[in-house]
Amino acid sequence: MLMTLRRHPLAIALISAMLGVASCLVAGNLLPEPQELKRPLPHQLASSDRQLRMSMGALFGSNYIAGNKVETLVNGIRIFPAMLSAIREARKTISFETYIYWRGAIAEEFAEALSIKAREGLSVKVLLDWVGSLPMDERLIQRMQDAGVEVVRFRPVAWYTLDRVNNRTHRKLLIVDGRVGFTGGVGIADEWNGDARTPEEWRDNHYRVEGPAAAEFQAAFAEHWIEATGQLLLGDRFFPDISLAGDHGAQVVVSSTHQRNTMHLMLMTALAAAQKSIRIATPYFVPDELTRNQLLEARKRGVEIQIIVPGPHTDARIVRKASRHLWGDLLRAGVKIREYQPTFFHCKLVIVDDIWSSVGSTNIDDRALRLNDEANINLFDREFARSQMALFDADAAASRPYTLSDWQNRSSSEKFSDWLSSLARSQI
């Protein structure tokens, strides 16, 4: 074979070119998008400065939209009934996008509720990430499709998706009649179906948004739906006139292909604005160098920083180890890191001072901030921030402090395995 190829230099050149293209595709998929920022943002605008709200509204996602009611749903015992109730009360359209939809009792219940509405003649569209939904029971998809639900896999592996195969949708969006939206951390699986009472019942938050901001959720869904199907969602079925529903002003921020740094820039802007405190809750805390430096700059200003991450119960031990490798400078600077003990901790929450909050699907790692498509909702709202701080403090009370001494006293094998795990941090 080798001798034959040597007689055909053109074939060798063609094969080399094909291998080169394949290598470029693999590298391009694995590497996160380059960061525009080269150093931490200065503390130019404070969290209490009105101009910060105006700037963030202009730069990231939608402007702050008035007239919304935002309800916090704690754990699956409250999250799933609220989502199912909204589905059952739908009159025209249901748009549902999720990364995880697996199997089990709650997966069956959602499939049945969506199927019933499709048989009633509603437009029911379900968009599942191809990778995230691989463990899904295919019977559920068939059941929904037989009932008239449009079930589509997002970015399945094919020749025309090779340039984006590592860019998944991690968004969790449910929009009903274009007026009510849900976002947060939960997937549709029994792991979330409980009240965090045992290790089998995961701890998470989800958020019900009623009012004009729901149109931004619908627009985010429509962006992915047209990519997956070629169909553009138009008309008042999907984008109705929406009355004011509450007092919350909300900004919806989404990251998409070639615009993923939006989330990273938004987070850096918020951290740079902190005056007193930063609270971060995340199941996957693998911050890049810039994020770590932004936190360290805040500590130099005297900002108190608390971070809650999973403890012994986790769905990804490699993430926990890679995260721990990066904690040294943070702990030395006085950042307080706590590991949640009762069960797997899956909440995604950032609170700056007592005024700004960001919730949704985004984790603090390269995959969320520079690879996946995400959706968050931000609020400049002291009452909402206080409610999230109360939840955070309750979770902190159920968490074990991880000290600098703990970090320094890891065994040599732990230090090595933590370092080794951190080498894969852009992908985990």
Residues 361-380: tens digit of each pLDDT: 999 999 999 889 999 999 99
20-29, 297-306, 335-344: least confident range: 20-29
- pLDDT for 31 equals 56
Catalytic residue among 117, 125, 129, 177: 177
d(CA 239, CA 270): 30
Region 317-321: mean pLDDT is: 95
- pLDDT for 70 equals 98
172 catalytic, yes or no? Answer: yes
241 catalytic, yes or no? Answer: no
Q: Is the pLDDT of residue 12 over 80?
A: no
C-alpha distances in Å from residue 196, one per residue of 193, 269, 344, 348: 9, 33, 8, 15
Catalytic residue among 204, 288, 353, 366: 353
1-5, 244-248, 408-412: least confident range: 1-5
Helix 261-273 with 50-59: angle, nearest 10 deg: 170
- Local confidence band at 164 (pLDDT 50, 70, 90 cut-offs): confident
170 catalytic, yes or no? Answer: yes
Mean model confidence pLDDT for the chain: 91
Kindly state the tokens that stand for 305: 């920083």
End-to-end C-alpha distance for the chain, whole angstroms: 39
- pLDDT for 342 equals 98
Region 311-323: mean pLDDT is: 95
Catalytic residue among 117, 125, 172, 321: 172
- pLDDT for 33 equals 61
- pLDDT for 36 equals 73
Q: Each residue of 250-289: pLDDT tens digit?
A: 999 999 876 768 999 999 999 999 999 999 999 999 999 9
| Total Cβ atoms within 10 A of residue 270 | 24
The H-assigned helical ranges of 211-288 are 214-229, 261-273
- pLDDT for 2 equals 40
Catalytic residue among 224, 264, 346, 365: 346
DSSP 59-120: HSSSPPEEEEEEEEEESHHHHHHHHHHHHHT-SSEEEEEES-B--SHHHHHHHHHHHHHHHT
224 catalytic, yes or no? Answer: no
* H or E stretch covering 278: strand 277-281
Q: Each residue of 50-87: pLDDT tens digit?
A: 999 999 999 998 999 999 999 999 999 999 999 999 99
21-35, 78-92, 111-125, 344-358: least confident range: 21-35
248 catalytic, yes or no? Answer: no
d(CA 400, CA 311): 8
Degrees, nearest 5: CA angle 410-412-414: 60
Region 226-255: mean pLDDT is: 96
Residue 241, helix vs strand vs coil: coil
d(CA 245, CA 67): 6
Catalytic residue among 125, 204, 348, 418: 348
d(CA 275, CA 367): 28
Catalytic residue among 117, 125, 129, 170: 170
353 catalytic, yes or no? Answer: yes
